[in-house]
Amino acid sequence: MASSEVENGSEFKVRVFSSSSELLESLHGKWGSVKKQPYPAMYSSVYGGITLDPAMMVIPMDDHMVHRGHGVFDTAIILDGHLYRLDDHLDRFLRSASKARIASPFPCSALRSILIQMATASKCKRGILRYWLSAGPGNFLLSPAGCPASAFYAVVIDEDFSQRREGVKVITSTITMKSALFATMKNVNYLPNVLSVMEAEDQGAFASIWIDEKGYVAEGPNVNVAFISQDKELILPPFDNILSGCTALRLLQLAPKLIEQGRLKKCKNWKSYSDGSQRGC
């Protein structure tokens, strides 16, 4: 039924699916018109395997990650069919899970194996691997005590990305940044991040940057911030109140080589004010 008919007060009849096969047929109809499948593979511990059928890439509504936001996630880039720095991302993933008090249904080695097998099954050469750990399905209560087990989900996203070689416009965000506990935990409660990005888009900017209550530059909604000063010093905000981005950490690892080459003089984690002045920490 057309939306205009609903708005005009006409009776809105909701279809009742009499069987799972009928529902699946409807879902397949939705995906049948898509020229290129953007999600070539998904893993779910709920049904215990990998699916290549986009119509089956769903999670239960009573999963506490859905209705309570009790879940964490992380990502890894797929480049030329290889998972880039997967172990670093998995380590951060499990640190986030520990802070969120979610026990993984599998040891780290099994999580790693699942992700590698899924990436292989997807046949994706360039994209993003995103994965979640949830308190799990079970009920619609606030406490996860009634959930039988935590749940692990993962999706391969076929996405062609290129290195940005030009400057971008950023703004200072007016959205309140997260507290240290939630900022350092990569959890699924991303509403402040979403509103921050939308704020930037409204002003024609690439991203918005959070400034903390003391006036220090913090981070963006899904990016870390780094500066190269006029004295060739690489400066990053400390990670005590923001997410320790794996890319930022890798940058710190590679910086000494640039210092040896004379392209940088120093590399440090300093607090930087929004006016450009700096303070040691």
Per-residue model confidence as pLDDT tens digits over 123-179: 999 999 999 999 999 999 999 999 999 999 999 999 988 777 888 999 999 999 999
Cross-strand bridge partners of residue 238? none
Share of the chain above pLDDT 70, in %: 92
The answer to whether residues 192 and 175 touch, using CB atoms and an 8 Å cutoff, is yes
Mean residue pLDDT across the chain: 91
Q: Residues 123, 186, 265, 268: which is the catalytic one?
A: 186
- Residue of 166, 113, 132 lying closest to 57 (CA atoms): 132
Intervals of CATH 3.20.10.10 along the chain: 170-279
The answer to whether residues 132 and 104 touch, using CB atoms and an 8 Å cutoff, is no
State pLDDT tens for residues 6-51. 565 568 889 999 999 999 999 999 888 888 889 999 999 999 999 9
Intervals of CATH 3.30.470.10 along the chain: 40-158
Q: Assign a CATH topology to domain 170-279.
A: D-amino Acid Aminotransferase; Chain A, domain 2 (3.20.10)
pLDDT of residue 44: 98
Which residues touch 258 (CB under 8 Å, ≥6 apart)?
234, 264
pLDDT interval class at 1 (50, 70, 90): very low
CATH of domain 40-158: 3.30.470.10
Is the full-model pTM beyond 0.85? yes
Side chain identity at 237, as an amino acid letter? P
| Other Cβ atoms closer than 10 A to 271 | 20
> In the predicted model, is pLDDT for residue 270 greater than 80?
no
The answer to whether residues 187 and 97 touch, using CB atoms and an 8 Å cutoff, is no
> Distance between CA 70 and CA 63 in Å, rounded?
9
Query: What backbone torsions phi and psi does residue 18 show, to the nearest 5 degrees?
Result: -85, -15
13 is catalytic: no
pLDDT interval class at 274 (50, 70, 90): low
Chain centroid to CA 103: how far? Answer: 19
Longest dimension (CA), the chain: 73
